[in-house]
Amino acid sequence: MKLDEARQRYPQIAALYSIIEDKKIKLTALPTNPKLDSIYFREIEFSSQDFSAIIPLDDEYEDVEKGNQALMLQLIIYAVEEYEDCEDFLVWSTAFGLNSKDPFILDMYRGLGKTFPKIRDIIGTQINDISDYDWELNAGAAQALRELDQ
């Protein structure tokens, strides 16, 4: 599917690209990190006009490899939402099946606590993103985004 068709057919895809364009966001997949590989996480460099950060996030389906900006933004949105929904470190680490006794994991969590509020300020809170259902089943907008011809 071509980008124009995907944007017309799926408002979620159009919304992701609008955020990227309006906020001048650039997302870059960083080389794999052995410490993160074992937990299915990848790092993405998030850059906007006023802020830049490296974000470790869950990439179970290896979506980062595709280099698709909107796909990476969706991963970031999921990571931000998951962080916001978890009441503390133990809940967050359990949600991802991470070892809560590993100091590396705790440092990662603390870093996200500093980074995610700034990202939320940039991307906003009213986002028409892809449903968890579509994401997990690779259906609808999620499938279109993953198979997008750019």
Structural domain boundaries in the chain: 3-143
pLDDT in tens, 18-58: 999 999 999 999 999 998 988 999 999 999 999 999 999 99
SS3 (DSSP) at 119: helix
Indicate if the pLDDT at residue 150 is higher than 70.
no
Identity (one letter) of the amino acid at 37?
A: D
Indicate if the pLDDT at residue 61 is higher than 70.
yes
pLDDT in tens, 123-132: 998 887 899 8
Burial class (CB in 10 A: 0-12, 13-18, 19+), 97: exposed
Run of H or E including 108: helix 103-123
SS3 (DSSP) at 147: coil
pTM, two decimal places: 0.94
- DSSP codes, 52-66: EEEEEEE-TT--GGG
